[in-house]
Amino acid sequence: MTSLKTLRIDSPLGPITLAASQRGLCGLWFENQKHGPSDVDKQNWQTDAQHPLLQSAAAQLQAYFANEPVVFDLALDLSAGTPFQQSVWQALLGIPSGQTRSYGDLARHLGKAQAMRAVGAAVGRNPVSLIVPCHRILGAAGQLTGYAGGLWRKQALLQLEGHPIAGRISSPLFPE
């Protein structure tokens, strides 16, 4: 990744790093998230707490975590992925809050019914987690499956959005 502007914010689910290119928001990673940027990637990044897009993203995330109605309306730059990954990430943007889809549903939507594993791999590599809602993808039977930010975060995000996930968890969003 080239020189990006970044901002680190706190959230109820742990620190988040936001990254913006000249084209738009290109990164949203929870601390210790799988498939996040490498230390080499980060070498040319510049912290910019006044960057307008990063400030807007931070404000919208703050509202989201406060359980206020939010429609993320940020310019996105998903160009770091392959054309196939980009098509998966674009499809994720069409899943409304409070709803979920299976990997198979997503693969069929893309016209690639036999490509469930490839779809799953692309979902896992989503660089703008939460805003590009990869947490809304479940297993075929509706079970929680992998999430680069951790399954506990995935469950907390779905609960925040009102999805009827069985069982309660203890998290900063839902303390016992």
- pTM given for the model: 0.90
Instruction: Write down the pLDDT at residue 171.
Output: 47
Distance of alpha carbon 21 from alpha carbon 17, whole angstroms: 13
Instruction: Write down the pLDDT at residue 169.
Output: 46
Choice among 132, 134, 137, 165 that is catalytic: 134
Instruction: Write down the pLDDT at residue 163.
Output: 86
Active site residue 26: no
Contact assessment for residue 3 and residue 18, using Cβ atoms and an 8 Å cutoff:
no
Instruction: Write down the pLDDT at residue 11.
Output: 97
Q: Is 19 helix (H, G, I), strand (E, B) or coil?
A: strand
Instruction: Write down the pLDDT at residue 176.
Output: 44
Instruction: Write down the pLDDT at residue 92.
Output: 97
In the chain (176 residues long), the average pLDDT of successive 10-residue segments reads: 87 97 96 87 91 98 95 96 97 93 94 93 95 94 87 92 64 48
